[in-house]
Amino acid sequence: MRRSFLIFKDPADLRWILLISFIAGIACTVNVAHAQFLTPQDIDSAGARRVISATVTDVIDPITFTLDNGMAWQASSLYIPGFTFRDSGPFAPEALKILSDSFVGKAVDIYQPAFSRMNAPVLKNRMGHLIGHAVRREDGLWMQGLLLRLGLAQMDLNKEMFVFSQQMENEESAARNENLGLWDDPAYQIQSSDNIPETPLRFQIVEGTVISASMRKNWVFLNFGADWRTDFTAKISPEDKRSFSRAGIDPLQWRGKRLRVRGWVDSYYGPSIQITHPAAVKVLEDDN
């Protein structure tokens, strides 16, 4: 099947992709050993439910599988830097090779949250594709955990697809500590809140200390600088604030705390990130 997201503008591009695929083929069996294998206990503790079981027939791109029941499945909660449906970016070719070797022809279980605010029996994206987490049935190999552990993706939580967030953070942290994949590039590393450019639609993980915390029109604003008009801000919508309340978290108590937040940078009186779920925030006051 033609991989429509790979566009070769120059013959050198093709040689580069083939080289990456060759290296990935050699390293794949070794790298899979680093991946997260989910147990039934992991799945239960994460509050996940199996919504479908099927066999993978093809890997269309690093986040999309086709299944033998005629459905398509798309991975949730992952950001692969540079990857779009028009361009591969630097990490997608290796991810595609590894996923093809690991999942094509294999039976998988697709998991989604046991609870959803949408009250839908099965969650799908706007294209009608299933979304969720894929786990290889024969041994529990977890697709998202594999890419995160190899440093080929970052955790990007969807507020409706928040299961396995702790396991995902663990795999991402392990790859970051070893400078694997994207973590070896300063552009994708954790950034200081003092140095965030106003570049719209850029995924970023940011660390800094909350200087002030306030609520206006039921929105929570966490300001990381002295001037809220220009400095970095994290914000929480009234709808998303409910998930913090359910978790027993009051974001207004984070004043003076050092936080790590993740999301898409927007421009709102300086660079800002809208936090959609408690798992997108980590309090670092006790971390080194």
pLDDT single digits (tens) 127-165: 899 999 999 999 999 999 999 999 999 999 877 788 999
Tokens of 253: 């108590």
Question: pTM for the full model?
Answer: 0.85
- Average of per-residue pLDDT across 93-106: 96
What is the C-alpha R_g of the chain?
19
**Average pLDDT score over residue span 17-37:** 49
pLDDT at 31 over 70: no
Kindly state the helix (H) or strand (E) to which residue 23 belongs, with its residue range: helix 11-31
Give the whole-angstrom CA distance, residue 224 versus residue 208.
6
**Share of residues in the chain with pLDDT > 90 (%):** 71
CA nearest to 137, candidates 16, 258, 37, 216:
37
How long is the chain? 288
Q: 91, 4 in Cβ contact below 8 A? A: no
Q: Are 127 and 54 in contact (CB under 8 A)?
A: no
Output the pLDDT for position 200.
66
- What is the average pLDDT value for the chain, to the nearest integer? 86
Decide: residue 96, CB within 10 A, 0-12 exposed, 13-18 middle, 19+ buried: buried
With beta carbons less than 8 A apart as the criterion, state whether 102 and 84 touch.
no
Position 202 confidence tier, pLDDT thresholds 50, 70, 90? confident
Helix axes 92-103, 11-31, angle to 10 degrees: 50
Tokens of 172: 């991402």
SS3 content of the chain, % helix, strand, coil (to 5): 30, 30, 40
Strand segments, DSSP code E, in the chain are 48-61, 64-67, 72-75, 78-79, 107-113, 130-136, 154-155, 191-192, 202-209, 212-216, 219-223, 233-236, 258-267, 271-274, 281-283
Residue ranges of domains in the chain, CATH in brackets: 11-184 (2.40.50.90), 190-283 (2.40.50.140)
What's the Cα-to-Cα distance from 139 to each of 42, 77, 269, rounded to whole Å?
Answer: 13, 22, 49
More confidently predicted of 165 and 117: 165
